[in-house]
A and B are shown apart, each in its own frame.
Chain A
Amino acid sequence: MQMKRVVIAGVVVLAASALAVANPNPAGGTISGKVTYEGTPKKMKPIDMSKEPSCAKMYATPPTGESVVTGPGNVLQDVVVYISAGAPDDAAPSSAAVFTQKGCRYIPHVLAFQVNQELKIVNEDQTSHNIHPMPKLNREWNKSQPPGTPPISEKYDKAEFIPVKCNVHPWMHGNFAVLKNSHYAVTGESGSFTLPNLPPGKYTVTAWQEEYGDQSQEVTISGGETKTVTFVFKAKPY
């Protein structure tokens, strides 16, 4: 009888440990949430591309500016959410971050990548662009990329948010988010983000929007839990 009880207890312990193994991230927590705005954001104006017919003809209706992109339910797109403190710096991944010039716009509008990660810049247009990122901490360079030329490969060795412009096409404007670790996300149409695989610890989560600046929250992860964080930016009407 007693023997049987021991066996049952053993089975229960085994089953419990098996369950723990089945969890893909035994100690990994997740921070997820949504970025929204309150108030009235400024209206994005249609871009006049008439000076560049090869791009203008790619649009049935002129595209609008992208410095503040909103969605249904007051969500904000193109917000970089990242761990600004609490996580160690990560080595750069071997894959390249790709920034494409298409239809005289930057795709994506906000490109997040890591310090020393390869940045690949592609021109898919039938016109010459110049890529002119305007960093304050990193080195400032400015390169021409005529149609049909190979991608430009660059990297940045300091974390920084860098505005990017094309001097030939003044409406073209994008952003590089150069980050220290791999825990980051850029919000899409739903305005939501997920930062998975976070070991237990105390983190500062920061959300950055190119016009509204940044805001931070402290989040403590103690196990395989998912914590929800919401960022609300005050929209500026102009």
Chain B
Amino acid sequence: MRRINFARIAVNVVLAAALPLAAGAQQMESHIGNLTGHSDAGRQLYFRYCWGCHGPHGNGMGENEPWVTPQPRNFVAAVFKCRSTPTGTLPLDSDLFNTLKRGFNFTNMPSWAALTDQNRADLVAFIKTFSPRWKSEKPGDPIQIPPEPTLTIGSIKHGQELFQKLECWKCHGQEGRGDGPSASTLTDSNDQPIRPYDFTSDNRSKCGRTNQDLYKIFMTGVDGTPMPSFADVVKPEDAWDLVHFLRTLQYNNPSPELTMWEGTPEGKAIVAAKRVKQTYTGSGVKP
């Protein structure tokens, strides 16, 4: 149980009043395509929209923090979930920009699609003033994603084997429901419990909805969470096979992969078994 820390709220209020003036020492820019974001402009937006959760210091300790799970991102640590860069490296400006637009499913972080692209670029520039890492390090080299190969049953079947071999099911469960044997023990880097992604839910995953996004998620890992990077151990062609199989786990989400999988006797049986609807008394009713 976390208690409301009134002293901290008071300090935050005072700091918030003082900081927009005091923090002018550091200037940062962000570059996304043709857009250039400026931290000065971003600061105004940050202290309007973001600081309530992320705090005046950007350390995730805003006044709403006690009520927010998972905890707001700590920009001082500069560990970011959704990247196109290898695990342990800083993300690209465009990664942060896309994250702002997308928001995070299953968390309190909303989508900021209502802001303009320029607003979001400015915010990215300001977020980068909180950690000295943005001065001393460059973002990692983005992982290379080869063009997606043609979808085949063989590719889906190989992905199914990889799901077993790489032991994805230990956390995500044999059916991809996020209920594997280790699922209940998982904690994030703040020691807060965290759920593995449930592929069977209708929700998109945290870091995007496209096949390319799925590819990126397991190759770069989701830093700050239990999800590791597989970039060193999975070959690019194998990674695409795994993406194709993962799509078939999303049985509520129509996709070419799901259609092809249901076209085989094995796939049809697996998907049909998942579609069994549970009644409140626990007896199964097939649709």
Residue contact A142 to B226, C-beta cutoff 8 Å = yes
B202 interfacial by beta-carbon distance below 8 Å: no
List residues of chain B with CB within 8 A of the CB of A168.
167, 170-171, 182, 226
Specify which of A136, A139, A143, A169 is in contact with B232 (CB 8 Å cutoff). A143
Q: A141 vs B225: C-alpha distance in the bound complex, in angstroms?
A: 10
Cβ of B165 and Cβ of A146 under 8 Å apart? yes
Chain B contacts with A in 212-230, Cβ cutoff 8 A: 221, 223-230
Flag whether A211 is at the interface (Cβ < 8 A): no
User: How far apart are the CA atoms of A134 and B187 in the complex, in Å?
Assistant: 12
Interface-lining segment among A13-21, A69-77, A124-132? A124-132
Verify if A145 is at the interface (C-beta below 8 Å from B): yes
Are A144 and B228 touching (Cβ within 8 A)?
Answer: yes
From A130, A140, A152, contact of B226 by CB (8 A):
A130
Q: Contacts of A140 on B, CB cut-off 8 Å?
A: 77, 79, 88, 189, 223-224
Chain A 50-73 near chain B by CB (<8 Å), digits 1 or 0: 010000000000000000000000
From residue B214, how far is it (CB to closest CB) to chain A in Å?
Answer: 16
- Interface contact B221-A146, CB-CB below 8 Å: no
Q: Are A146 and B167 in contact (CB under 8 A)?
A: yes
The answer on a CB contact under 8 Å between A142 and B185 is: no
B226 close to A132 (CB less than 8 A): yes
Residue of A nearest to B188 (CB): A167
> Contacts A51-B181, A143-B228, A152-B232 known; A128 to B88 CB distance under 8 Å?
no
Could you tell me if B226 and A167 are in contact, using CB atoms closer than 8 angstroms?
yes
Q: Is A40 part of the binding interface, using a Cβ–Cβ cutoff of 8 Å? A: no
Q: How many A-B residue pairs have CB under 8 A?
A: 71
B69-102: CB near A (< 8 Å → 1, else 0) gives 0000000010100000011110000000000000
Q: A132-B228, A142-B226 are in contact. Are A51 and B182 (CB under 8 A)?
A: yes
Q: Are A144 and B224 in contact (CB under 8 A)?
A: no
A143 in contact with B87 (CB, 8 Å)? yes
Q: Which of A106-139 contact B (CB under 8 A)?
A: 127-128, 130-132, 134, 136, 139
Closest B residue to A167 by CB, please name it: B226
Q: Does B273 contact A (CB under 8 A)?
A: no
Contact A143 B221 (CB under 8 A): yes
Within 8 Å by CB of A144, from B77, B89, B230, lies B230
In angstroms, Cα B167 to Cα A131, docked, is 14
B221 A127 Cβ-Cβ under 8 A: no
* Residue B21, interface by CB 8 Å: no
Instruction: Let me know if A128 and B229 touch, CB within 8 A.
Output: no
Q: CA of A170 to CA of B187 in the docked complex: distance in angstroms? A: 9
Instruction: Provide the main secondary structure of the chain A interface.
Output: loop
Q: How far is the CA of A140 from the CA of B189 in the complex (A)?
A: 9
Decide if B50 is an interface residue (CB 8 Å cutoff).
no
Query: Are A146 and B233 closer than 8 Å at their CB atoms?
Result: yes
Q: Which of B167, B182, B223 contacts A141 (CB 8 A)?
A: B223
Please report the total number of B residues contacting A with Cβ < 8 Å: 27
- Whether B15 sits at the interface, judged by CB under 8 Å, is no
Q: Is the CB of B182 within 8 A of A139?
A: no
Q: Mark B103-125, 1 if CB is under 8 A from A, else 0.
A: 00000000000000000000000
Residues of chain B lying within 8 A (CB to CB) of residue A144 = 166, 221, 228-230, 232-233
Let me know if A217 is at the binding interface, CB within 8 A.
Answer: no
- Does chain A have a CB within 8 A of B186? yes
Enumerate chain B residues within 8 angstroms of A128, measured Cβ to Cβ.
166-167, 170
Residue of B86, B185, B233 near A170 (CB, 8 A) is: B185
User: How distant is the Cα of A144 from the Cα of B221 in the complex, in angstroms?
Assistant: 9
Q: Given the complex, which residues of B lie within 8 Å of A222, measured CB to CB?
A: none
User: Of residues B89, B224, B228, which shows the largest number of chain A Cβ atoms within 10 Å of its Cβ?
Assistant: B228
Query: How distant is A158 from chain B, measured CB to nearest CB, in Å?
Result: 11
* Centre residue among A128, A142, A146 by max chain B CB count within 10 A: A142
Contacts of A230 in B (CB 8 A): none
A142 near B87: Cβ-Cβ < 8 Å = yes
Given A132-B228, A136-B77, 12 more A-B residue pairs with CB atoms under 8 Å apart are: A131-B228, A134-B189, A139-B88, A140-B79, A140-B88, A140-B189, A141-B229, A142-B225, A144-B221, A145-B233, A146-B167, A167-B186
* Top 4 closest pairs, chain A to chain B, by CB: A141-B88, A167-B226, A130-B228, A170-B185
Between-chain CB contacts (< 8 Å), 30 pairs: A51-B181, A127-B167, A128-B166, A128-B170, A131-B228, A132-B228, A134-B189, A136-B77, A139-B88, A140-B77, A140-B189, A141-B86, A141-B88, A141-B223, A142-B223, A142-B227, A142-B228, A142-B229, A143-B232, A144-B166, A144-B228, A144-B233, A152-B232, A167-B182, A167-B185, A167-B226, A168-B167, A168-B171, A168-B182, A170-B185
